[in-house]
């Protein structure tokens, strides 16, 4: 006879020597034992929860980087506007988790130079603790 819990072969004992299951609930040697909840359903549910948490963390991280880029672009536009320029285009590419680089195309908002478009290379770094950005265009 085999134990119905762990499939250990029983040796004329009242309880299974491996898991402690009562021998009266034993199965014939060729019968397939039942899989306990801990081995099957619980582990599967735990894996689903862990995968869901990993997916959430990944998506939250991607969203945070998108917000960083948007905040940097808004800061650049606002700073150029304060100095009398109109920003035509900002292109930033993420180099690492907290570093962006690219360019800004802008022109003077009014006057003789309002038709002249200027392009400057820019870099930006985001502080990991405060999410504040430090950017520079040359």
pTM of this prediction? 0.51
Among the ranges 18-22, 49-53, 98-102, 126-130, which has the highest mean pLDDT value? Answer: 98-102
pLDDT of residue 66: 66
pLDDT of residue 32: 57
**End-to-end Cα separation, the chain, in angstroms:** 82
pLDDT of residue 33: 53
Q: Is the pLDDT of residue 103 over 90?
A: yes
Q: Is the pLDDT of residue 105 over 90?
A: yes
Per-residue pLDDT tens for 14-34?
778 888 777 765 455 555 555
Exposed/middle/buried for 77, CB within 10 Å: 0-12, 13-18, 19+?
middle
Domain residue limits, the chain: 1-34, 66-137
Name the residue with higher pLDDT: 70 or 13: 70
Per-residue pLDDT tens for 39-91?
567 777 778 888 888 887 776 665 555 678 888 899 999 999 999 999 999 99
The set of residues, in sequence order, having a beta carbon less than 8 Å from that of 47 and lying 6+ positions away, is: none
Dihedrals phi, psi of 46, to nearest 5 degrees: -65, -40
């Amino acid at each position: 006879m085999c134990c119905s819990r762990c499939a250990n072969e029983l040796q004329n004992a009242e309880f299974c020597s491996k898991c402690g299951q009562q021998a009266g609930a034993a199965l014939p040697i060729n019968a397939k034992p039942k899989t306990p909840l801990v081995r099957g359903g619980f582990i599967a549910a735990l894996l689903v929860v862990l995968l869901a948490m990993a997916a959430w963390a990944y998506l939250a991280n991607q969203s945070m980087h998108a917000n960083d880029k948007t905040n940097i672009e808004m800061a650049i536009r606002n700073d150029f506007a304060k100095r009398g320029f109109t920003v035509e285009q900002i292109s930033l590419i993420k180099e690492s988790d907290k570093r962006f680089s690219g360019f800004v195309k802008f022109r003077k908002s009014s006057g003789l130079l309002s038709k002249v478009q200027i392009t400057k290379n820019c870099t930006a770094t985001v502080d990991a603790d405060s999410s504040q950005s430090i950017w520079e265009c040359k």
